Each structure stands twice: as structure tokens, then as C-alpha cells.
Amino acid sequence: MRIQTLAARAGVAPSTVRYYEQIGLLPPPRREPNGYRVYEEEDLERLRFVVRARALDFTLDEIREILALRERGEPPCDYVRDRIVSRLEAIETRIAELRRLQQELVRLHRLGAQAPEAGSSQGETACICRIIEPPGTGAAAVVARPDRLPSRAEAPR
């Protein structure tokens, strides 16, 4: 089959197939005299594996390692299980961070519904937004950011 057919059957763009070939996730295909790539069913199976692994958030390096283990005749399932455990731990951590962020945003939203606009009172012109930086807190106030959420001890109650 040609690249268009292979890509369509795997649900990816032909440029993705060429990229995966370039980085070694797919072997170089056989070429026709006119230079067209020719793929076999094994190529489709391998491409579908790569697409499925990417959908499960495996990195390209992890996929490369899984394929290398398989090519060496070693079962890659222990490696895959280790990666899954690691990914699950990271997801659980991220979910906890997102829950804290959600709670902080709900709290700030409620606070914002009660707060007048910045600068509406005398002496508050330096405040950009009272919801994020209540008067008197200064720049040292902890603001929920995706890269650093307040700990329970830091989070306002």
C-alpha cells in the first residue's frame, strides 16, 4: 500500500508517517522505481501501535524503547507496566493540584462577587484586581498558578 492508504488506515496524516520514519519509529519502506513508498501490513500494525501508544500519552522515546525491546526479542510488558505506574502517579498528583486550583478559583470567584472594582475606593488605585491581590496583601500574596499551587498551609481558608 502507498503512504496515503497507510496513513488513512491508521488515522494519521502522511506527514506523520514520514516523521515517524525519520525518527526511526517506523522502518524505511521499500521503494518503487518511481520513488513511491510501499508499505506492508506489518507497517500498518506497527504504525497503529505507535498511534495507540501516543494516545495513551507514551513519549516518543518510551515508544522507541518498547519497540527496541520487542526487536531484541525481549518482552516489553514489564517496561510498559512501569511506565503506566509512573504515568498514573503523575496523573494523580496533577488531579490533586487541579482540585486545589479549583477550590482556590471557587473561593476567589465568591470573593470577587462581593468585592467592588479596583480603584473604586480611596487609596486603592495601586491595586490591579482586588480578587487576585486583596488590598494590604502586596505582591507577596500567593496566587494559584499552574506551575505552583499553594500548599494546604498556604491556601487561604
Report yes or no on 153 lying in a domain: no
| pLDDT value of position 135 | 62
Structural domain for 119, as ranges: 80-140
Spatial contact of 149 and 100, defined as CB atoms under 8 Å apart: yes
CATH number, domain containing residue 26: 1.10.1660.10
SS3 (DSSP) at 20: helix
- Please choose, from the candidates 153, 120, 148, the residue with its C-alpha nearest in 3D space to the C-alpha of residue 135: 120
SS3 (DSSP) at 148: strand
Statement to judge: residues 119 and 63 lie in one domain: no
Lowest mean pLDDT among 2-6, 112-116, 140-144, 148-152: 140-144
Average pLDDT along the chain: 85
Spatial contact of 100 and 144, defined as CB atoms under 8 Å apart: yes
Report yes or no on 38 lying in a domain: yes
Query: At 129, is the pLDDT very low, low, confident or very high (cuts 50, 70, 90)?
Result: confident
Statement to judge: residues 105 and 58 lie in one domain: no
Report yes or no on 55 lying in a domain: yes
Q: Can you read off the three cell numbers belonging to residue 26? A: 517506523
- Quick check: 138 pLDDT over 60? no
Q: Can you read off the three cell numbers belonging to residue 128? A: 490591579
pLDDT digits (tens, 9 = 90+) for 29-41: 999 999 999 999 9
Statement to judge: residues 16 and 48 lie in one domain: yes
pLDDT digits (tens, 9 = 90+) for 65-110: 999 999 999 999 999 999 999 999 999 999 999 999 999 999 999 8
